[in-house]
Amino acid sequence: MTKPVHIDDSSFDEAVIKSKIPVLVDFWAPWCGPCKAVAPILEELSQDYCEKMAFTKLNVDEGPQTASKYGISAIPTLLIFKNGEPVQSIVGYKPKPELKKVIDEII
């Protein structure tokens, strides 16, 4: 069972930039209601796409440098990286079908 991997500023490059497959980074915080709402959807998607995409979570309180580097001003923000570059940004809560559509367009 694959779940989104928790990363921080120090593990970001290894987990995201150097990944051979696309990576979805969930910028979140434990005090954020919409972040909690989207978490189970991301867990389901990480199962559905375990061969094609990696799923990670970065707590903005623990990874402020990375959040700042990518201009994260609202959470949840989902950034999808491909070949080490951000290719898609999704801000706020989105239902599973909408997230699947975005992922399918990228992979």
For residues 70-84, one letter each, b for 16 or more C-beta atoms within 10 angstroms of the residue's C-beta and e for the rest, the string is bebeebbbbbbbeee
For 87, list phi and psi in degrees, rounded to 5: -115, -15
Catalytic residues: 32, 35
